[in-house]
A and B are shown apart, each in its own frame.
Chain A
Amino acid sequence: MIIGLLFYGIILSFLALFVRKKYNFLRWIIFSFYIFLTLFLTITIGKDSTYFETFNLISILNFDLSLNFRITPLGWLFTLFTTLLLFLTSIFSIVKNKNEDAERLINFFWFILIISNTGLFLADDLFTLFIFWELIGISSYFVISPGWVSSFRAVNYYFIFSIICSFFMFSGIMILYEGTGTFSIQKNVLYFISLFENSPLNAIFVAISLIIGFFVKSALFPFHIWPAQAHAKAPDDFSSVLSGIIIKYGLYRTILFFIPLFLFIKEYPVNHIMVNNIPLFSHILAWSGAITSIIATFLAIESNDMKKLAAYSTVANMGYITTALFSLSSFGIAGAIFHTINHAIFKTAIFLSIAAVKYRTHETQMHKLGGMAYKMPVTFLTFLLAIISAAGIPPLNGYVSKWMIYQGLLSSKFPFLTLAIFLSSTGAFMYLFRALHSIFLGQLPEKFDNVKEVPFLMQIPMYILMFLMVSIGIFPQFVINLINSVLTSYNISNINIKNSMIFSPLSGIDSVKVFLAFTGSFILAFILYLIGKPRKHVQPLDTYTAGQDPADFNLTRELYHFAYKFYGPFEHMFDSFRTDTKEFYDSIERKINEIGGYFRDFQSGSIRGTIYTFMLSFVLIIIYWWLL
């Protein structure tokens, strides 16, 4: 069934290539339909099934290269929410790309992406995982930069980081394969654990090569700059996929490999260095998450481009998730998985509302916008709920997972990690409010007087996302029960949840009551509002000029929009700490160019020389192989 699904996806993707340009939207409708099919199948298969499927691709020299798929609780959960969010994004894309003069290949690459998404999460062996991993990397490369000059440089950052990531991942996989002789994930994970007991040096090499891939793909420090480049320059609807979903792949793979390993070490800590009852390596990873979240938070506070701000916010959230995951308590791991899902939901909402604003205004610099809420109320409400959720404020979905993260960190006694999360969380409130104010509130510039709300088809995903954010916030038990089955598959104690009441070692919350408390208070406020004398509606500029014509004073609304350098003096506090990571990578790029230039001179551009070099190296490789 899974192979059939992927196969039909490929057929549909080729069919969509033949749609004529005049009926561009048809192509995207086919795409949405396919994602809906995937979603439907994912739900019907169910999380508890022990479904298994094999497809013999080819087998050379004892190398069994077959595609194996298996449904695990974790893979199923990730497939479910990524497919759901991809579906919502695809509905948004129908209208967005209708009049876009984009290459039809973009749609093709989106297809490849969604096929690989399903394949990656349901893969049962490392070979399958790696194939789909690479397909995602390549297809997203072409989607980010559909022939635009502006995004070409950004996409190169993304591509080079992806290549580094796959290179290390491949070497790690190959070392594991050498030991086990099979690509099966379960066997390799067991071998990985035993490797840590028998030959720690080898194991550490594998671990580092796998973890570098995770660091790169999930944009942890010091690789935290590529999202700000790639997410910001990608097409607007694709940014939400990049930020909400693609950044999670590294996390998925890390959960697969490292959580069993660290839990094993935590249980049998002989011969291992332990800090605070968790392995030292895990502790370092948790700290790198915390450092990432703090750095990304301050970078987000400084950025003036709304897509960059959202991209840095993604990096900060990946930091929280990493910290919680490697604190290795059941609440930490569950909170990390829950926050992954919640982050995907609210970040999709943030990026879609940004895309909606950009669709109408073609502007991403925040200080040039303003007052969009008065023209686009649905987009505004989506953004508002998304930032409430992102800041972890009750009663929306973000707070449940953040609360769980805090319970995990506090109950396993990590004071300074908790403090780091507190700091970046408060910082999150700062930059999110700044985005809300600069884009949606304040003064509406005169040039945007005729802006309208986006078409209804674009609003549909926003309504669904708002519904998801509110309902998961009130009834988190539906998601937590799914996460509990993931925890069971890793032999971790479940989250104690009874209806909507979650019990942690430190306290308990009932999210329905939290919601009711807020609703009750709002009703009280509304009654007070009705009791007070009715208000009068006045145009903003009228109050500044005491009723005279603002034009007489050369006053425009833009002059009154305070958005540029919103936290200026606060940013100046960090002037002496500022280091330019981008400049660091650029200098590496210049060095590599220099070396490349040396080789270019050496070859002197003749094709014959190149061919000779190639043949010589080929012969050398064969001799090497033969000697071995």
Chain B
Amino acid sequence: MMNNYIVRFLIGSLTSIILGLLYMGIGRKFIARIRRCYAGPFYQSFIDVIKLFSKHSISHHWIMDFGIMMGFSGIIATVIFLPIGNFYVFPDMKGNLIIIMYFMTIGYLGMAMGVSASGNPNSPIGIGRALALMIGYEIPFALAVILLIFANGSSLLYNIIQTQQGSIYNWNLLKYPFAFIGTIIALQGMLGEQPFDAMIAPAEIASGPMVELSGKFLGFGFLQHASQIFLETGIITAMFLGGGTIIGFFTKQLFLYLLTLSIASVFPRFRFEDGVKFFWTIPTSFVLFQLILFLIKR
């Protein structure tokens, strides 16, 4: 029983890391193609992580170590609750959406705590921007989640996927197109891609949160970002694109990630307060429109 859980846990977490890194590598090549330049091989991210873990690193306090580990483990723990194709780590909690939304925050909290303990003022500036943006994109995303929970009468991603099976016309993408548009914009903010990359903003605050990270700490940051890509595209895939089998699920995730990157590579950066305003107006009204349509129809 216990061994079974451990094996499932390892499969889930390692899949998210490996595929997340793979998506990152493919994403780099994709951006290079858009900009008509060259990128490293698609397995470049793996090389980067291995290299980072084998380098010297500096730390300012045990809280920094603890925070970085907590950030990574928070995202991994969230991936455990995500349905990966038709694979579930916990068969009695098949993708509990509320838990997923709240569990994600412990990853952010851990990362924020770790980099704050590094003492560099650029890190808390970046974190402050990230958290302010979070209150922005949470609103359209939460509305979309509420809509789907109402429509399905269940807050399990498993049930949401089940109702979309059969044909492409059952996908929530076609049933609730406006909600999908709003959520895609929210995804842009969740992944921290342009135009919502004010928290990283290399030219202003020197990569923000990551400024003091070196060696294996930066490696953890890489891994966390990789799992985060896997997790967040996975949630949207399950919510709107009908989940699917293992291969279909990964393809849809990759499609979503590349869509995000293609938006990112043509847009400049929002100031973060403008970003919040944008999130509270355009995507929110899209999702709200869909929700009101749904409520009227019901």
Contacts and interface: CB of A to CB of B under 8 A. Distances in A.
Interface of A: 371, 373-374, 380, 384, 388, 391-394, 399, 402-403, 406-407, 410, 413, 415, 418-419, 422-423, 426-427, 429-430, 433-434, 436-437, 441-443, 501, 505-510, 513-514, 516-518, 520-522, 524-526, 528-529, 531-533, 535-540, 543-544, 557, 560-563, 566-567, 569-570, 572-573
Contact of A535 (B58, B212, B295): B58
Given A430-B132, A533-B57, A437 B116 contact: yes
Best-surrounded residue of B58, B60, B135 (most CB of chain A within 10 A): B135
A566 B116 CA distance: 13
Contacts of A528: 53, 72, 216, 220, 223
B179 interface: no
Contact of A423 (B9, B124, B135, B149): B135
B119 interface: yes
A513 B76 contact: no
Contacts of A566: 124, 128
Interface in B202-225: 212, 215-217, 219-220, 223
B13 A524 contact: yes
Which 3 A-B pairs rank lowest in CB-CB distance, beginning with the nearest? Answer: A532-B216, A521-B73, A540-B119
Contact of B117 (A418, A423, A441, A518): A441
Contacts of A505: 153
Contacts of A522: 69-70, 73
Contacts of B154: 506-507
Given A506-B149, A532-B215, A567-B128, A441 B277 contact: no
A337 to B, nearest CB: 19
Contacts of B76: 521, 524-525
A345 B285 CA distance: 38
A509 B139 contact: no
B57 A535 contact: yes
| B interface secondary structure, majority | helix
Best-surrounded residue of B76, B132, B272 (most CB of chain A within 10 A): B132
A562 B121 contact: yes
B102 A521 contact: no
A392 B215 CA distance: 32
A151 B62 CA distance: 39
B192 to A, nearest CB: 16
B225 to A, nearest CB: 14
B146 A570 contact: no
A540 B105 CA distance: 27
B98 A533 contact: no
B139 A517 contact: no
Contacts of B70: 522, 525
Nearest to A421: B142
A373 B66 CA distance: 13
B54 A533 contact: yes
Interface residues of B, number: 80
Given A399-B102, A403-B98, 11 more contacts: A393-B109, A429-B131, A442-B116, A509-B96, A514-B99, A522-B73, A524-B76, A528-B53, A529-B69, A529-B220, A532-B57
B273 A413 contact: no
Contacts of A569: 132, 271-273
B150 interface: yes
Nearest to B128: A566
B82 to A, nearest CB: 11
A517 B9 contact: yes
B63 A537 contact: no
Interface of B: 5-6, 9, 13, 53-61, 63, 65, 69-70, 72-74, 76-77, 80-81, 89-90, 92-93, 96-99, 102-103, 105-106, 108-109, 112-113, 116-121, 124-125, 127-128, 131-132, 134-135, 138-139, 142-143, 146-147, 149-150, 153-156, 212, 215-217, 219-220, 223, 271-273, 276-277, 291, 295
Nearest to B141: A422
Contacts of B69: 522, 525-526, 529
B93 A510 contact: yes
A532 B219 contact: yes
A34 to B, nearest CB: 39
Contact of A410 (B5, B81, B127, B150): B150
B92 A501 contact: yes
Given A406-B98, A535-B216, A423 B128 contact: no
Best-surrounded residue of B59, B99, B131, B154 (most CB of chain A within 10 A): B131
A560 B102 contact: no
Contacts of A543: 58, 120, 212
Given A517-B80, A529-B216, A510 B92 contact: yes
A427 B135 contact: yes
B207 to A, nearest CB: 14
